[in-house]
Chains A and B, each alone.
Chain A
């Protein structure tokens, strides 16, 4: 058949409306719904039935639209999230419950979750947690940890629809997400939801080998024969064919030149109509596979990846304090061990996507991102344009966790749209996303810790090697951060920590929630358990005795007079700890095949970038009509910055948060609020928002010549100021643009580190202690998690429900790191071989919010992104050891590894 042959008509009912669409009947139902019917609330996360984001009801039953033929919908009823919420009482009630519980974070899985839950609600079954889990088990979520989703569905099973999610409230109130309703109603637009109908599609040609030389055939002839609009290679990059994230370490080409350095690296891109791309002959490239090195072990002998980096050493990090070797020699008790972790994939449910269009001499890119200004500047360098000529308009971002900081799809579409002067789109496939996006660094750690006779830590030595992959990305950050954090939140007077980032022929390792700190905690916190065991001390008491307190120096010599709250975190766990230990002991006395254990771990994390300026700027204005506008550029990838920043701003201004209208993010209209990373937005952008709110308040009070205590309200064309029971109306100036406007910035105070890594790298540390109860099947090595108790010092909880959401989501990622996740280059490039926790894998989480305040944070608030997963994996591993005697050094603790460790421990016990 020819491409021009008319497609058949498929008649079906979509959300109650009869449809007849021209679509190929064998195409995926998800494609037809999105592209022909315009139902962009049907999300595509994997095209393989692995993630459930595309779930729709087909004649009332949940199915994955991505693995259903469009023609199979003929004559049938299709319902999607947006249609259901618009017309179905169960769905409306569910949407309201999702808002009330903050069950949507980024929102990309929400359509699949809600559609699946609606089928359950309609069944009329009596709801239990198990039934909810069974019904929603086919939908993956990477943000929430599922607990709030379960709560929302159970809640929706009850009463009549009530729109009672708190829409207002000051700092400290669990205000519903200000950006939540689009996510629960199906209106939210993500990276692949915004492309115009006339956009051309781009596809990337990628290396099938870990390392290869390549030569192209006749590209022009191929382009013409295939009916393509454009082929891009390195030769088509007008600026620098190079990007990166850390100054001095920009080393990644948009298109490889001469040799590819990892499997999946781009060498070319093709652009054309989607139909032309569907049936293409093989791309004219000849590959010459070359020897590749995938681990740091062989790196010094392997071919050098970058000319200036001998032995494939990217960089090193060091923190040295006191005399670690001397003190270790004097220690009464010393433990040491080797630990390793593998590549961890971010596995956000939204694959990378971008659309670009040329507007005169500027290029505009809509994309999911965590760092719009960094993306802007990176694209400007690639395109050879000034930064002002590049506009980044972020869409909703369906999860990021660090990997959507880096440029991925944006350069390709920007180059193509620039050349063609037509809109160009791309959405990565799941395989493409996993194969090419940055990863958590694999780690190989040797660590040694010594105490005196009473159990006080005397010294710690840490040596960590991190596989940074083919390009630097955020590798230097990992190398810097790890030595600062590898002591854990404990007083360690003598300390030496060395780190090294090593290049290999794998996808680049970059930023992933913790920048290497979760990996170092796996070593340090397990060794702490071994020390407590040696000392015959309770493991929680041992940590409590050694933890940092106000006034005690960190390993970089930094002293906090306030806000070091890890002692309070451990204290908060004590009642649950004692109960859990007693319960485990009682259980174990009567069970042989299954054993219960309890594990604890602490963690800390410096908020913001390490020892460098990283300011945020917030702009706000009042229109002549009296509308209050907040230009909020801190990207909300689900964590809640749209809500938190608005709450802080409203508090400082002294108005209800419901008065705030959010604008942005958009590099043309929102000032630079920096990156959404390193737990910096609440702290740094929050401070900018506080300053902006205070400045605007001062302006308004001056305008009315009223005192500090006056109450501000906005009316039509005026501000109303109430003081001492008297309300005055002040007409707003009728200006172009804003009648009143403020722009405020905040940059955290830090000091550089000296040659021994001594200094003040962060203005704020957040701390956490988590404990887990679990059960190990001694015969099969399987681990069943029973309960988490998580105490987090957040300084001040701006929005406690968002805090809980971060904790639960971090725990879910941490337990994935501990138990199941490992990316193997070239092998686990899909979501059925690369496993992340499902709704049945995350047990109840009891969050304990500690509010110890902070000297710098807005209203005392600290950041809370990375902290939530740092203690999780070591707590799980410590509990496994407590239950079974099996100490897992090399992650993940899959059933085969746990069983092997159980058998090894038994052999050792009987030897």
Chain B
């Protein structure tokens, strides 16, 4: 059994090209998925790659390295745009999971209930991928193709998440049956830009209520020009064609249908509140 620990992206790509192995970062999805079975013969640990954990802003684009952990997000100094992402980071599993689990891993696992996906979707995240054919970037909505299915070819790996730097404030709410270590019944993230209490741009995404988290685009458009008092009515009236929850061990489908609109309203209100002092 081998665990390769490349120190550069090129070295990692070379190993992947050789016939690969399972990409390992935090291990928070890889190991539980084994269900007590023996680990794969060969794994490639990408957490030692130089610079892959960096967070930087250049030319109006935030670049979050693929090995960035949830704790890195919690600790990073980031603008209000990322408030939702920080809130989501604190809701991922537990401190133990946040310390090793990565944003890119959360995306690659492509669980319908992935805590990171709705927020990253509301931030218009692009996924940067390197592979035999070079570099490409795809929108997160396109990268996740279905439950446990992503647009990642043989020999490819995620190298960064790219987020346009914009005005606006993020928010995130997670609904679960207990406080910590809980898989979501539903999640909502929002990024709202408002001027004098009137919404000028809105991004709303919903998780755990469809095969892949979705953006509520019709609602986003309807919200432009609205003030906080008008939000609840607009949300109740909104057409949410992608809201297709299932009944599972966590909640019934009809409950999710009902609760999501409450969550959306509250998340938007949270995103319109005056920013909290960082703490």
Contact = CB atoms under 8 A, between A and B. Distances in A.
B41 A1 contact: yes
Given A28-B39, A781-B255, A899-B259, A824 B249 contact: yes
B181 interface: yes
Interface in B93-113: 93-97, 99-100
B31 A138 contact: no
Nearest to B251: A896
Main DSSP-derived SS at the A contact region: loop
B45 A71 contact: yes
A896 B179 contact: no
Contact of A838 (B32, B47, B181): B181
B52 interface: no
A861 B168 CA distance: 63
B223 interface: no
B201 interface: no
Interface string A1-12: 100000110000
Given A52-B96, A431-B36, A72 B27 contact: yes
A223 to B, nearest CB: 20
Contacts of B30: 67
A134 interface: yes
A429 B2 CA distance: 25
B95 A137 contact: yes
A27 interface: yes
Interface string B10-51: 000000000000001011101110111011111101010000
Contacts of B178: 820, 835, 837-838, 840-841
B41 A63 contact: no
Nearest to B256: A896
B182 A835 contact: yes
A26 interface: yes
A832 B95 contact: no
B161 to A, nearest CB: 22
A770 interface: no
A431 B35 contact: yes
A64 B71 contact: no
Interface in A364-403: none
A824 B41 CA distance: 34
A61 B71 contact: yes
A25 B2 contact: yes
A24 interface: yes
B3 A49 contact: no
Given A138-B95, A899-B259, A67 B32 contact: yes
Contacts of B250: 894
B5 to A, nearest CB: 7
B71 to A, nearest CB: 7
A824 B175 CA distance: 22
B181 A820 contact: no
B95 to A, nearest CB: 5
B180 A840 contact: yes
Contact of B97 (A49, A134, A840): A49
A813 interface: no
A781 B263 CA distance: 12
Contacts of A67: 26-28, 30-32, 100
A55 B96 contact: yes
Interface string B74-107: 0000000000000000100111110110000000
B56 interface: no
A278 interface: yes
Given A780-B263, A896-B251, A137 B179 contact: yes
A789 B38 CA distance: 48
B177 interface: yes
Nearest to B38: A278
Contacts of A8: 2
A138 B96 contact: yes
B96 A49 contact: yes
B175 A782 contact: yes
B97 A64 contact: yes
Contact of B180 (A47, A70, A137, A820): A137
Nearest to B182: A835
B177 A48 contact: no
B1 interface: yes
Contact of B249 (A47, A63, A828): A828
B121 interface: no
B155 to A, nearest CB: 20
Contact of A138 (B2, B27, B97): B97
A279 B27 contact: no
Interface residues of A, number: 64
A185 interface: no
A140 interface: yes
B258 interface: yes
Interface string A22-42: 001111100000000000000
B124 to A, nearest CB: 28
B205 to A, nearest CB: 19
B120 interface: no
A50 interface: yes
Given A62-B95, A429-B36, A25 B1 contact: yes
- Looking at B27, B96, B179, the one whose CB has the most chain A CB atoms below 10 A away is B96
B185 interface: yes
A25 B179 contact: no
B251 A894 contact: yes
A52 B94 contact: yes
A894 B45 CA distance: 39
Contacts of B244: none
B249 A895 contact: no
Interface string A111-135: 0000010010000000000000111
A47 B99 CA distance: 17
Contacts of A28: 31, 39
Given A69-B39, A835-B182, A839-B180, A26 B1 contact: yes
B181 A137 contact: yes
Contacts of B1: 1, 7, 24-27
Contacts of A583: none
Given A49-B31, A67-B32, A899-B258, A116 B95 contact: yes
Contacts of A819: 177
A780 B176 CA distance: 10
B255 A900 contact: yes
A338 interface: no
B259 A895 contact: yes
A66 B31 contact: yes
Contacts of B9: none
A894 B90 CA distance: 23
B255 A69 contact: no
Contacts of B24: 69, 72
Contacts of B249: 822, 824, 827-828, 833
Contacts of A27: 1, 39
Interface string A86-124: 000000000000000000000000000000100100000
Nearest to A74: B5
Interface of A: 1, 7-8, 24-28, 47-50, 52, 55, 58, 61-64, 66-72, 74, 116, 119, 133-135, 137-140, 278-279, 429-431, 779-782, 819-820, 822, 824, 827-828, 832-833, 835, 837-841, 894-896, 899-900
22 contacts: A24-B39, A26-B40, A48-B31, A49-B97, A63-B96, A64-B28, A68-B27, A68-B100, A134-B90, A135-B95, A139-B94, A278-B38, A779-B262, A780-B262, A782-B175, A822-B249, A835-B182, A841-B179, A895-B251, A895-B259, A896-B251, A899-B258
Q: What are the 4 tightest A-B residue pairs by CB atom distance, in nearest-first order?
A: A138-B94, A840-B179, A137-B180, A896-B255
Given A8-B2, A26-B1, A895-B255, 18 more contacts: A47-B32, A62-B95, A64-B28, A64-B100, A69-B31, A70-B3, A116-B95, A137-B95, A138-B93, A138-B97, A139-B94, A779-B262, A824-B249, A838-B182, A894-B251, A895-B251, A896-B185, A899-B258
Interface of B: 1-3, 5, 24, 26-28, 30-32, 34-36, 38-43, 45, 47, 71, 90, 93-97, 99-100, 175, 177-183, 185, 249-252, 254-256, 258-259, 262-263
